[in-house]
Amino acid sequence: MIMKFDTRLTPATPVLVLFAILFPFTADWHMPLADGAVVAWIENGQALWLLFGALFTACYIRPLSRPEGAKQFWLWAVVWWVVLLGRSTSWGRVYFPEQPRLLFRIVSVALIAALLLPLLFSKALRREIVRRLREAPLPVWLFAVTAGAFLISDTVEHHRLLAPLFLHSRQYVDLIEELYELPFMVGLFLIALGFMRQERRGERAASLPYEPLHAGLK
């Protein structure tokens, strides 16, 4: 399988890179943490963004109106946003901490199952994923920034070897982790939006009336 790559630099890419470079200096600038309130605001904003991603995908691409294969793929994409939303809120525990842990375990299992089971049982979905990996151009630079932001957030969260490059003060660990999740989430949305726009453009081109080549020569 040979993938296609789009090496054009989108306007959003350097903006995300700039923010990613500046994030570690929030500790040097002594950005106020407000006893964790700043991190909570960011987390709430992330949850709203992920919910927006799911709703936007469902409304913009309208999975149920798609042909076989595309329908399963875009429904699966919506589920991905919901799973990311669940993960970012600890499957709801962030907002309902008084509820029993078993409830959140059930929610996590149900959402992850909704993501994995279609891969196992839907041949149309698997075929569509392979087709898109082969035919849809991947925006290289935007993908690199998105993946890099995710890896840095994970590095800071788990105190991996390179964490000191991005974490200048240990009291800022939660803030830096959440900040690096922002370009990851924005980049992920922009990548998905690009794929959705490509599909819509392809549909419009296919719906144009066919005009024979010799018609323009009359």
pLDDT at 218 over 50: no
Q: How far apart are the first and last CA of the chain?
A: 44
Is residue 204 very low, low, confident or very high in pLDDT (cuts 50, 70, 90)? confident
Q: Mean of the per-residue pLDDT values for the chain?
A: 92
Q: Do 155 and 163 touch, CB atoms closer than 8 A?
A: yes
pLDDT at 23 over 90: yes
Q: Is 208 helix (H, G, I), strand (E, B) or coil?
A: coil
Please tell me the total number of residues recorded for the chain in this structure.
218
* Predicted pLDDT of residue 217: 44
Instruction: Name residues whose C-beta falls within 8 Å of residue 175's C-beta, 6 or more positions apart in sequence.
Output: 26, 31, 33, 38, 39, 42
Evaluate if pTM is beyond 0.85: yes
pLDDT top residue among 202 and 139: 139
For the stretch 49-106, pLDDT in tens is 999 999 999 999 999 999 999 999 999 999 999 999 999 999 999 999 999 999 999 9
* Predicted pLDDT of residue 203: 79
For the stretch 109-153, pLDDT in tens is 999 999 999 999 999 999 999 999 999 999 999 999 999 999 999
**CA torsion angle 154 53 205 72 (round to 10):** 80
HSE-up of residue 99 (Cα within 13 Å, Cβ side): 13
pLDDT at 199 over 50: yes
Is residue 1 very low, low, confident or very high in pLDDT (cuts 50, 70, 90)? low
pLDDT at 216 over 90: no
pLDDT at 206 over 80: no
Question: Strand 5-6 relative to strand 138-139: parallel, antiparallel, unpaired?
Answer: parallel
Rounded Cα distance between 89 and 155, Å, is: 20
